[in-house]
Amino acid sequence: MLITTTATKFLKRKNTINLNGRLLDLTKPVVMGIINVTPDSFFDGGKYKTEKKVLKRAEEILEQGGSVIDIGAVSTQPGSEGISTKDEIDRLLPAVKAVKKEFPDAFVSIDTYRSWVALKVIEDCGPCMVNDISGGNFDVHMFDTIGKLGVPYILMHMQGTPLKMQENPEYEDIIRDISMFFTDQVKKLTKAGVKDVIIDPGFGFGKTLEHNYELLNRLDSFKVFQLPLLVGVSRKSMIYKLLATKPEEALNGTSVVNTLALMGGADILRVHDVHEAVEAIRILNIVRSTSK
């Protein structure tokens, strides 16, 4: 049984995200396309080293129907140790600046767990959503910074750190444990003045294969928060290890899991393969429209 506290029970279901006066409509699910400006991400590391390649990828995301472009500069795959703040800024800032200049109407998200990085990029490039894999646990100043910046925040759950998160993760009840985390962090975010929060249960981050599929099976439990739900399973090990393949061969499995996530209440799919995710949403939307 989930516990509804003052952090959740007074919230009304949010169907829009406000980014500097522009609204992202979530009455139907949308797709967030990934751009990793890293040399070592598990699937696409090293593919977007130049501004030209970053812009081509951003254009591809938008042309294929993506609603948000998520740009990250630090690999967070299992076993990764991270990089310095300077290196992260040196990678992230030029990419975000280029995308915002070329596509000024695009919704851009920056994938960072450092408040100073979020502050620097947003001050230099303009408002962006902030996608924090640590859910505020890696930087005590993150929530206050987001509140002052007035931008949307993606609150992700992770047990441990990327370096050691897959070393025997344990839960008493994975849904209850993650829900308690969301409850505590949403309360802190509200106190810090953050108005737009998206929750992400963090598939693959401190979870075994079995944990991930239990999470997928019970995903609709998070509806109690009345907040937009983001799911990121794209080509992850929960898919390719189960199917005894590789990330490069996990597109079909990703589409299946994305569809199950949509049926469980996902509002945003964070993916490498935008076209296929958009198709999954289109099919689900027509199925839902015929059931009314």
Residue 137 near residue 115 (C-beta atoms within 8 A): no
User: Which of 39-53, 168-182, 211-225 is predicted least confidently?
Assistant: 39-53
Question: Residue 282 catalytic?
Answer: no
25: Cα separation from own chain's centroid: 17
Determine the Cα–Cα distance for residues 176 and 27; give it in Å rounded to an integer.
27
Question: Residue 49 catalytic?
Answer: no
In a domain, 10, yes or no: no
Determine the Cα–Cα distance for residues 228 and 63; give it in Å rounded to an integer.
24
Q: How far apart are the first and last CA of the chain?
A: 30
Environment class of 226 (CB within 10 Å of its CB; exposed 0-12, middle 13-18, buried 19+) = middle
Per-residue pLDDT averaged across 201-205, rounded?
Answer: 95
Active-site residue, from 235, 246, 270, 292: 270
Active-site residue, from 187, 236, 246, 292: 236
**pLDDT value for 80:** 55
In a domain, 257, yes or no: yes
DSSP-based three-state secondary structure for 89:
helix
Give the other-Cβ count within 10 Å of 23's Cβ. 11
Tell me the pLDDT band of 1, cut-offs 50, 70 and 90.
very low
Provide the phi-psi class of 77: left if phi over 0, else alpha when psi is between -120 and 50, else beta: beta
Per-residue pLDDT averaged across 47-58, rounded?
Answer: 90
Q: Token pair of 252, please?
A: 């079909």
Tell me the pLDDT band of 221, cut-offs 50, 70 and 90.
very high
Q: The whole model's pTM is what?
A: 0.91
Determine the Cα–Cα distance for residues 24 and 44; give it in Å rounded to an integer.
27
In a domain, 100, yes or no: yes
For a pLDDT cut of 70, what percent of the chain falls above it? 89
Give the domain CATH number at 44.
3.20.20.20
In a domain, 155, yes or no: yes
**pLDDT value for 4:** 44
Element at 197 (helix H, strand E): strand 197-200
**pLDDT value for 44:** 56
Asked if pLDDT for residue 13 goes beyond 50, the answer is yes
Structural domain that includes position 107 = 18-290
In a domain, 13, yes or no: no
Asked if pLDDT for residue 242 goes beyond 60, the answer is yes
For a pLDDT cut of 90, what percent of the chain falls above it? 81
Tell me the pLDDT band of 6, cut-offs 50, 70 and 90.
very low
Alpha helices in the chain (DSSP H): 51-63, 85-102, 115-125, 142-149, 174-191, 209-217, 237-240, 251-263, 274-290
Dump pLDDT digits (tens) for 131-176.
Answer: 999 999 999 999 999 999 999 999 999 987 666 657 778 899 999 9
Per-residue pLDDT averaged across 270-279, rounded?
Answer: 98
Residue 31 near residue 70 (C-beta atoms within 8 A): no
**pLDDT value for 5:** 44
Give the other-Cβ count within 10 Å of 156's Cβ. 27
Give the other-Cβ count within 10 Å of 281's Cβ. 19
Asked if pLDDT for residue 237 goes beyond 60, the answer is yes
**pLDDT value for 117:** 97
**pLDDT value for 10:** 40
In a domain, 113, yes or no: yes
**pLDDT value for 204:** 92
Could you tell me the maximum CA-CA distance found in the chain, to the nearest angstrom? 52
Per-residue pLDDT averaged across 52-66, rounded?
Answer: 97
CA torsion sign for 220, 224, 228, 230 is: negative
In a domain, 11, yes or no: no
Q: Token pair of 183, please?
A: 């409850």
Tell me the pLDDT band of 250, cut-offs 50, 70 and 90.
very high
Per-residue pLDDT averaged across 225-237, rounded?
Answer: 96
Q: Token pair of 191, please?
A: 């106190």
Per-residue pLDDT averaged across 91-118, rounded?
Answer: 96
Tell me the pLDDT band of 8, cut-offs 50, 70 and 90.
very low
Number of domains in the chain: 1
Amino acid at 181: F
Residue 7 near residue 187 (C-beta atoms within 8 A): yes
In a domain, 175, yes or no: yes
